Amino acid sequence: MYYQPYLKAEALEHYLGDPHSEKTTFSYENSAALDIEEAFPQEIVNELQTWGLHHYYVPVEYGGNLESYEQLLMLLRLVARRDLTVAIGHGKTYLGSVSVWVGGDQPQKMTLGQEIRNGTIVSLALTERAHGSDLLANDFDAEPNPEGFLLTGEKWLINNATRGDMLTVFARTDVKGGARGYSVFLVDKNQLGEDAYTCLNKVKTHGIKGADISGIQIHKTLIAPDTLVGKLGHGLDIVLKSLQITRTLCASLSLGAADNALRLTYQFAITRELYDQKLRDIPHTRRVLLQSFSDLLIAEVCSITSSRGIHVLTEQMSLISAVAKYFIPTSIEDMISQLGKVLGARAFLVDLFEHGRYQKLQRDHRIVALFDGNTLVNLQAIINQLKTLAKFRNKARSNQDQRLATLFDVTAQLPDFQSDKLSLTTKGQDTVLNSLYHVDQLDESSSNLVAIKQYVKTILAEIEKLDSEVLNTDWVINSIPARCFTLAQRYCLLYAAAACIQLWLFNQQHLDSKPLTGIWHDGIWLRICLERLLNKLKLPITPCANAETLFLEQLDKQYHNNMLFSLFPLKLSDYTNN
């Protein structure tokens, strides 16, 4: 079986060429040099534009190539594995446009689609210097006027605020503020006039040093009525629903960084001699490599499930996107940190080891957990729904969601995305976690499957325990006990376990790719990944040395065959591993 979303991603990968080669524009060496100079990667961005990556930021119905969010996630993953700065700088146009795809009218969508296809850069002007994540404290004004709206204020820490051509601006349209006091506007900087705005200086950052992280001030400037996106006063709804998509797509950045980090470390581990043996063969190193490979695959499963969920479980994305945005970046950040300990001093070198790739990707990746809602924001979004989820859990025992096959079987055709189904709450629906109540396809024909079946029982018992603790814990939204954040973190680990179980069940029969048969057969990867998650939950496991050996052999095989570290085959352009 070939994983369909990888088709375009592999085409992009081979178009870009071997990142180790001096002849390649999008190379590790060039990215390192740009990082040192804190320079925007314009030449690399131009190459991505020539290939047409920006066309995948526009849905097909508005003239673009965006067929599914699963496909876009994989495209950005391949860019991010080379350089997160480029992925974040280029992908910002989708973030800038998504509020229009979610809340705009047909003429706005068609016009913006044409603009993006023509190369227009779009930015989201959301945050402000004094207010951060507190959107209802924003004081950038769009005062209603007989001729339109009068914009006044400053937006800060905005990606591509200076380089961008168009902005989607979140602005206060009612001086009293509140949930219905804000609106979204699509503003073309070229139509404002030179004196209408001032671009603020680029802000120095620890990571993504070449990105245009700056700001903009707009000085009492009149904009036309048709710049309003959606209904007046519905800006908060539009932004929060749009973030459900972009938070999910942020997983691509973490997956790319994880591949880069593991590839660098494995390369070092198989070539470095220490104590008369390969570094890879030292038990502690093998343990770190095994855990890191499993962390990457778990993140991939959650990413696939979440991106397919945009199409299949649209009304549940308030929960799914928060889980993805919290769990994937934090687990990959921990993974990168552990791999750095294997590299030792080389993890810190700027130019003496692989062009300083490791220290750059580690710095760059830290930003992923911050934007589009930071770690605490996403955990709180989960906490706010835990009681309702627990109360509705019993209904799940008798009602199986008929969409499970479409969600988890990666050969199943995804339905068209319907933005009007996005909601600010799941209303108690929890398809992924509840799916475990209907797992009956596991036999006991091998020791691995016996262990997996026991793990499913353990996870179900832990769900019951979690629900009980949630229902017996009281809190209010502005005074959440620290214990609740721990409960939300445990929920995410259980969610990841459920996603892994279902992805294996729905795909193991028709996955016949020889390079990957080894870990799909007999549930090898599933057992290792479940044991990793249960270990994080501090629940009992029974590790199998043979399964771990087969798992690490797959890591070695994917590395030496220049394949993306993945559950599905994708050939890379890194010819230097042969």
Q: Is the pLDDT of residue 331 over 80?
A: yes
Query: What confidence category does residue 577 fall into, taking pLDDT thresholds of 50, 70 and 90?
Result: low
Query: What confidence category does residue 54 fall into, taking pLDDT thresholds of 50, 70 and 90?
Result: very high
Hey, CA dihedral for 92, 321, 251, 117, is it positive or negative? negative
pLDDT at 338: 98
The Cβ of residue 444 has, within 10 Å, a number of other Cβ atoms equal to: 11
Distance CA 5, CA 10 (A): 9
Radius of gyration of the chain (CA): 24
CATH number of 6-120: 1.10.540.10
Q: Are 526 and 453 in contact (CB under 8 A)?
A: no
- Give the list of residues 6+ apart from residue 142 with CB closer than 8 angstroms, or none: 149, 150, 151, 169, 171, 172, 173, 183, 185, 223
pLDDT digits (tens, 9 = 90+) for 380-413: 999 999 999 999 998 877 778 889 999 999 999 9
Distance CA 408, CA 23 (A): 40
Q: Which long-range contacts (CB under 8 A, 24 or more apart) does 338-345 make?
A: 338/288, 338/291, 338/292, 339/261, 339/262, 339/264, 339/265, 339/288, 339/292, 340/261, 341/288, 342/265, 342/268, 342/269, 342/279, 342/285, 342/288, 342/289, 343/264, 343/265, 343/268
Distance CA 3, CA 397 (A): 32
Q: Which CATH superfamily is domain 242-577 in?
A: Butyryl-CoA Dehydrogenase, subunit A, domain 3 (1.20.140.10)
pLDDT digits (tens, 9 = 90+) for 165-178: 999 999 999 999 99
pLDDT at 178: 96
The mean predicted confidence, pLDDT, of the chain is 95
Distance CA 369, CA 362 (A): 12
**Tokens 């804190």 sit on residue:** 38
pLDDT at 401: 85
Residue 314 CA from chain centroid, whole number: 16
Q: Which of 189-198, 255-264, 512-521 has the lowest mean pLDDT?
A: 512-521
Q: Is the pLDDT of residue 154 over 60?
A: yes
What DSSP element (H or E) covers 299? helix 283-312
**Tokens 């199409």 sit on residue:** 311
Q: What SS3 state is found at 198?
A: strand
Query: What confidence category does residue 578 fall into, taking pLDDT thresholds of 50, 70 and 90?
Result: very low
The Cβ of residue 508 has, within 10 Å, a number of other Cβ atoms equal to: 15
Hey, CA dihedral for 535, 538, 539, 540, is it positive or negative? positive
From the candidate CATH numbers 3.30.499.10, 2.60.120.620, 3.30.565.10, 2.40.110.10, the one assigned to the domain spanning 124-229: 2.40.110.10
Distance CA 206, CA 72 (A): 27
Q: Average the pLDDT over 317-327 and give the result.
A: 98
Q: Is the pLDDT of residue 542 over 60?
A: yes
Interhelix angle 251-271/317-343, nearest 10 degrees: 20
Q: Are 185 and 193 in contact (CB under 8 A)?
A: no
Task: Sort residue 206 into left (φ over 0), alpha (ψ -120 to 50) or beta.
Answer: alpha
pLDDT at 513: 54
pLDDT at 168: 98
How many alpha carbons lie under 13 Å from residue 408 in its C-beta half-sphere?
Answer: 24
State the virtual CA torsion across 474, 477, 480, 485 in degrees, nearest 10.
100
pLDDT digits (tens, 9 = 90+) for 198-219: 999 999 999 999 999 999 999 9
Q: Average the pLDDT over 245-265 and give the result.
A: 98
Helix (DSSP H) and strand (DSSP E) numbers for the chain: 19, 10
Q: Are 242 and 69 in contact (CB under 8 A)?
A: no
pLDDT at 514: 61
pLDDT digits (tens, 9 = 90+) for 348-377: 999 889 999 999 999 999 999 998 889 999
Q: Is the pLDDT of residue 417 over 70?
A: yes
Query: What confidence category does residue 509 fall into, taking pLDDT thresholds of 50, 70 and 90?
Result: confident
**Tokens 């062009």 sit on residue:** 355
Residue 4 CA from chain centroid, whole number: 19
pLDDT digits (tens, 9 = 90+) for 431-461: 999 999 988 778 888 999 999 999 999 999 9
201 residue type, one letter: N
User: 110 or 574, which is more confident?
Assistant: 110
Q: Domain extents for the chain?
A: 6-120, 124-229, 242-577
pLDDT digits (tens, 9 = 90+) for 88-134: 999 999 999 999 999 999 999 999 999 999 999 999 999 999 998 89
What DSSP element (H or E) covers 167? strand 166-172
Q: Is the pLDDT of residue 573 over 90?
A: yes
User: 266 or 277, which is more confident?
Assistant: 266
Q: Are 248 and 317 in contact (CB under 8 A)?
A: yes
Which runs of E-coded beta strand occur in 394-461? none
Q: Is the pLDDT of residue 517 over 80?
A: no
Distance CA 298, CA 534 (A): 12
Q: Which of 224-228, 276-280, 331-335 has the lowest mean pLDDT?
A: 276-280
Query: What confidence category does residue 3 fall into, taking pLDDT thresholds of 50, 70 and 90?
Result: confident
